[in-house]
Amino acid sequence: MWAEDFSDLAKTLKASEIRELLKVTQMEGIISFAGGLPNPKSFPVEIINEITSNLLDRYGEKMLQYGSTEGVNSFRDTLAEYFMKTHDFKNLSRDNILITSGSQQGLYLLGKVFLNPGDIVVVEAPTYVGALTAFQTFQPTYVEAELENDGMSMELLEKKLKELKKEGKKPKFIYSIPTFQNPAGVTMSLEKRKRLLELAHEYDVLVVEDSPYEELRFSGEKIPQLKALDNDGYVLYLGTLSKVLSPGMRIAFMIGDEEVIHKAALAKQGVDLCTSPFVQYIAEEYIKGGYMSSHIPRIIELYREKRNIMLDALEDYFPDGVEWTKPDGGMFLWVTLPKHLDSEKLLPKAIENKVVYVIGAAFYPHRDHKNTMRLNFTYPSNEEIEEGVKRLAKVIKEAL
Ligand SMILES: Cc1ncc(COP(=O)(O)O)c(C=O)c1O
């Protein structure tokens, strides 16, 4: 009835593949590798129950009131201390931290703060589809740097930055998910991290480090975050408690240069006034009271087993000519089919066989890669992982 009155922007909005797919996943008997959901078994329900009732007794009035847009000060202080102590971030104070309602909001705010239509954003190819959705409102132009098994190609990045410079252009920022990347599950090497920062300095470009999976390492050595290698405000870090506490609580944080944080807070005012203080107090106690550090190993144990089951099943059932990444953490892995296969065309066959995944093309701004798919291993049960891989293998073998 009102569709004609929608704004030009609203007219361009359509449901993403992933949202559409989530409908299919509700069907009886479907095994879904498509979602990006943490396993509900990872939620610390009892801890939250205990923390919440204690906090309500002590701080009920503050928890239920509006809060400042920047976030609850004591929570920002707790985060500053946490990241300096456990992640080696340099010289943080609460003024470097904005509490956001999910990192998804952080991405949207960055778009609001930095992007005019046509401005350039460098992204990994493939990249997080939700970032493309968040930035889309501001109509940027994307430059892609191919993702390799050890992170974004620095050669390609340098080449593109050089070309842009020759044309008198400069990206507004480089968006990267360096650790346990969504969708591909790969992690950027230390050498590449250092090189990325050198290039950021050389070409004077901000780096946005989006790191929701950082704490979920199952194997391999910890690699310092880009933000930990940054001494002078070239990295803007997005962190979230969605994967180590609860995505339903919608609590995350942006850490970076004071001037950017201040501007992002102004941008946030018009969006939601503030992130729920109720939830911020609970999150603060979850970190400060040591609950988070004792709970994370349980999540890691749960997910490590699931990753191993998926890797073993892929090895056992997938045909020759299909490749996949072997993530050291996070929630996803990335399958590359032989070039002539199109994962979008295979999807109806997969649904017929009662298994779903997300087509790889969804993760490329120009949707020009057809032979890949993302598999989530954290949500399905262990039995479903094995059975789902078996079903998918059958679909791929038939197509071959
Ligand atoms: C790379 C990446 N960034 C941001 C988000 C959004 O996280 P949040 O729940 O904090 O909004 C996700 C969620 O899956 C993600 O994978």
In this predicted model, what pLDDT tens digit does every residue of 316-333 receive, in sequence order?
Answer: 999 999 999 999 999 999
Query: Ligand 1 test: best mutation among 152, 187, 242, 254, most atoms within 8 Å of CB?
Result: 242
* Cβ-based burial of 166 (10 A; exposed 0-12, middle 13-18, buried ≥19): exposed
pLDDT score at 25: 75
83 Cβ inside 6 Å of ligand 1: no
Q: Find the 132 Cα to ligand 1 centroid distance in Å.
A: 12
Retrieve residue 120's tokens: 């350039």
Integer Cα distance of 49 and 208 in angstroms: 34
Q: Find the 212 Cα to ligand 1 centroid distance in Å.
A: 6
283 Cβ inside 6 Å of ligand 1: no
Closest by CA position to 55, among listed 291, 280, 292, 275: 280
Confidence band of 18 (pLDDT split at 50, 70, 90): low
130 Cβ inside 6 Å of ligand 1: yes
Q: What mean pLDDT value characterizes the chain?
A: 96
Q: Find the 299 Cα to ligand 1 centroid distance in Å.
A: 17
Q: Find the 124 Cα to ligand 1 centroid distance in Å.
A: 15
126 pLDDT higher than 80: yes
Query: Closest residue (by CA) to atom 14 of ligand 1?
Result: 36
pLDDT score at 24: 77
Alpha carbon distances (Å) from 138 to 162, 273, 361? 25, 21, 22
Query: Can you tell me the mean pLDDT for 133-152?
Result: 96
Alpha carbon distances (Å) from 53 to 50, 57, 283, 289, 370? 6, 6, 13, 15, 50
> pLDDT digits over 196-240, tens only?
999 999 999 999 999 999 999 999 999 999 999 999 999 999 999
pLDDT score at 23: 76
Retrieve residue 33's tokens: 């590798």
pLDDT score at 46: 95
Question: Where are the CATH 3.90.1150.10 domain residues in the chain?
Answer: 3-44+295-399
Question: Where are the CATH 3.40.640.10 domain residues in the chain?
Answer: 62-292
Query: Can you tell me the mean pLDDT for 27-39?
Result: 92
pLDDT score at 17: 65
When comparing pLDDT for 19 and 378, which is higher? Answer: 378
* Alpha helices, H only, 238-357: 258-272, 277-288, 291-317, 343-352
37 Cβ inside 6 Å of ligand 1: no
Integer Cα distance of 190 and 182 in angstroms: 19
Residue 78 one-letter amino acid = T
> Do 147 and 126 form a contact (C-beta atoms < 8 A)?
yes
Residues 6+ apart with CB under 8 A from 95: 258, 261, 262
Integer Cα distance of 289 and 227 in angstroms: 25
Cis, bond preceding 183 (omega within 30 deg of 0): yes
Q: Find the 34 Cα to ligand 1 centroid distance in Å.
A: 15
pTM: 0.97
> pLDDT digits over 277-290, tens only?
999 999 999 999 99
102 Cβ inside 6 Å of ligand 1: yes
178 Cβ inside 6 Å of ligand 1: no
Find residue 125's DSSP bridge partners: 146
What Rg do the C-alpha atoms of the chain give, in angstroms? 21
At the topology level, CATH places domain 3-44+295-399 in Aspartate Aminotransferase, domain 1 (3.90.1150)
36 Cβ inside 6 Å of ligand 1: yes
Find residue 152's DSSP bridge partners: 147
96 pLDDT higher than 80: yes
Closest by CA position to 372, among listed 137, 154, 147: 147
275 pLDDT higher than 80: yes
21 pLDDT higher than 80: no
Integer Cα distance of 253 and 262 in angstroms: 13
Ligand 1 atom with the shortest distance to the CA of 36: 14
128 Cβ inside 6 Å of ligand 1: yes
Query: Can you tell me the mean pLDDT for 10-14?
Result: 86
Confidence band of 70 (pLDDT split at 50, 70, 90): very high
Ligand 1 atom with the shortest distance to the CA of 240: 10
Retrieve residue 190's tokens: 């230390």
In CATH, 62-292 is 3.40.640.10: yes
Q: Which range, of 5-9, 103-107, 186-190, 270-274, averages the lowest pLDDT?
A: 5-9
15 pLDDT higher than 80: no
Query: Closest residue (by CA) to atom 7 of ligand 1?
Result: 103
75 pLDDT higher than 90: yes
Element (H, E) at 374: strand 372-376
When comparing pLDDT for 134 and 27, which is higher? Answer: 134
Q: Which range, of 157-161, 236-240, 271-275, 367-371, averages the lowest pLDDT?
A: 367-371
Q: What is the largest CA-CA distance in the chain?
A: 63
* Alpha helices, H only, the chain: 8-12, 17-25, 45-63, 73-87, 103-114, 129-136, 154-166, 190-203, 258-272, 277-288, 291-317, 343-352, 382-399
